Amino acid sequence: MSKIRVWKKDPRARLPERASKEAIGFDIFCLEETIVPPQEQVLVRTGLVIESSPPYALFIFPRSSLFRRKGLIFPHSVGVIDFDYCGAEDELRVPVLNLQERAVTISSGERIAQIVFLNVLTNPVLEEINSPPREGSRGGFGSTGGYR
């Protein structure tokens, strides 16, 4: 079992929690009430500093209810947290973008995102080549799903 070190930078912070025994992600919580103005982006505080170690990298994903209940999205889709982002000032903050025409309030203690630890390749050797790896193209952006 791998240990992940978590520091409560702010004593009000809640440690990440799994919502169920077989949940892959750990919910993380909003530290303090946060108002997200219409059409604006805000960094939501968690009060946590989390250290992950190779090969398990830390990623932050939106909860499925974030958009449905709040009208908020992650402006960058997913957060990638580097292994060395765990110093005294490296608080985990969650960027959210309000797509609505009204302000949205995130309450203190509300689940705002989920963190997932994934096994990643940390030292690949990149080899430059002089031609495409394959002839032709398989297409992209919906080409295999029959979208028209």
- Which residue type occupies 121? L
Does the pLDDT at position 7 exceed 70? yes
What's residue 2's pLDDT?
A: 78
The answer for residues whose C-beta is within 8 angstroms of residue 4's C-beta and 6 or more apart is 50, 51, 52, 56, 117
Does the pLDDT at position 94 exceed 90? yes
Element (H, E) at 67: helix 65-70
CATH for 5-119 is 2.70.40.10
The answer for residues whose C-beta is within 8 angstroms of residue 98's C-beta and 6 or more apart is 36, 37, 38, 39, 40, 41, 42, 71, 72, 104
Residue 62 bridge partners (DSSP): 113
Q: Do the Cβ atoms of 80 and 59 come closer than 8 Å?
A: yes
SS3 content of the chain, % helix, strand, coil (to 5): 5, 35, 60
What's residue 143's pLDDT?
A: 62
Range of lowest pLDDT (96-100, 119-123, 134-138) = 134-138
Does the pLDDT at position 73 exceed 80? yes
Q: How confident is the model at residue 134 (pLDDT cuts 50, 70, 90)?
A: confident
Instruction: Note the pLDDT tens digit of each residue in 23-68.
Output: 999 999 999 999 999 999 999 999 999 999 999 999 999 998 999 9
